[in-house]
Structure 1
Amino acid sequence: MGIEIERKFLVAHDAWRSQGEPVLLRQGYLSSHPERVVRVRIEGSRAVMTIKSKNTGASRGEWEYPLPMEDAAEFLDKLCEQPIIEKYRRRIPFGGFTWEVDEFLGANAGLVVAEIELPSEDTQFDKPDWAGEEVTHDRRYYNSALVAQPFSKWR
């Protein structure tokens, strides 16, 4: 089993836009239950299915499997909960880690978050100045939660 240790932050300003190459991601959920998430993702020319366990702090189990592109596209179009998540992701090196900045589209347009994956929960790291408020433990910002309650419907 793989372990994902991830911290998530709102983005404070646009300085990140000049960094990293944007890649379109389309992802959907066969299950968005907090106890077990099953995600299908197409990123560029790569398609995967990812299974994630319930969060314990900033950690959770994660298993990822390659999918044929045609199967992934069919899952997204016909089987996944709607709306699917579409976003541009930029991978930005900073302070010895890679930050992923996601700019959401569609029903979640206007939301921009930055994530960092860490080797342990107590790993110290420097934040870029564009990384603002931490939202790691706020379920509203989970991609799987954005299907049921898109950012455009928040008040």
Structure 2
Amino acid sequence: MAKEIERKFLIDPAKLGELNCGISIKQGYVPTQDKTAVRVRIMGDQAFLTLKGENRGAVRSEFEYEVPLADAEQMLAELCSGPKIDKVRHLITHDKHLWEVDIFAGDNLGLIVAEVELNDEHEAVQLPDWVTIEVTGDAKYYNSNLLNNPYNTWSDK
């Protein structure tokens, strides 16, 4: 079974330094009845359909499939209800791990999150000095939750 093992952190942008140009991401979610997430994502000129199971700490089932860009655009327009997530992803290698730094736009402007994927949930990872607070497992930081509870509405930023 396909598993995603990732840890998620907030960062101090003042310590981040200069970033590469990044890749634009737009994504939406197909409504489901349970804790399964069905995501449609356009990333640059590629598109993906992803099914994710319930989080168990840093681990969850994940199945991702590339789909034609035109299909993804139609899915976002017709099947993904409500607002969409807009962000730019920057890839940074630090101590043998690839970090994905997402800088959000729109209703989530001001939120910057870094994720690191691991091979094992107990794998040691050297944290960069720009990492501040770990938010792995904190549901309010899940992209699917940022649609209905966007960062600009939080009182405890």
TM-score of the superposed pair, with normalisation by structure 2: 0.93
2:94 maps to 1:94: yes
CA-CA distance at 1:57 after TM superposition: 1.6
Shift of residue 34, structure 1, vs aligned partner: 5.8
CA distance in 2, matches of 1:34, 1:154: 25
Q: Whole-Å Cα distance in 1 between the matches of residues 3 and 32 of structure 2?
A: 18
The size of the alignment, in residue pairs, is 155
Instruction: State the match for 1:69 in structure 2.
Output: 69
Matches within 5 A, 1:24-39: 24-31=24-31, 35-39=35-39
What TM-score does the superposition give when structure 1 sets the normalisation length? 0.95
* AA in 2 matched with 1:147: L
How far does the alpha carbon of each residue in 1:117-141 deviate from its partner, in whole angstroms, 9 at most, with x for none? 0001110011111111000021000
- Does the 8 Å CA contact 2:55/2:137 hold for their aligned counterparts? no
Instruction: Name the aligned partner's letter for residue 38 of structure 2.
Output: V
Q: How far is 1:68 from its partner?
A: 1.0
Higher deviation after alignment, 104-113 or 12-21: 12-21
Deviations 1:30-69 (A, max 9, x none): 0366620000000011100000000112100000111111
Residue 138 of structure 1 is matched in structure 2 by 138
For 2:22 and 2:45, the matched residues in 1 are separated by: 14
Give structure 1 regions of 4+ aligned residues with deviation exceeding 3 angstroms: none
What runs of 5+ residues in structure 1 fail to find an aligned partner? none
Cross-structure match for 1:11: 11
Using the alignment, how far apart are the partners of 2:105 and 2:43 within structure 1?
A: 15
Give, in whole Å, the separation in 1 of the partners of 2:67 and 2:52.
16
Map of 1:149 onto structure 2: 149
**Cα distance, 1:16 vs structure 2:** 2.7
Q: 1:51 maps to what in 2?
A: 51
1:123 is matched with 123
Tell me by how many angstroms 1:21 deviates: 3.2
Structure 2 counterpart of 1:79, one-letter code: L
The alpha-carbon distance between structure 1 residues 116 and 78, as it changes in their structure 2 partners (threshold 3 A), is same
> 1:145: Cα distance to partner?
0.4
Contact 2:85-2:147 within 8 A present in 1 as well: yes
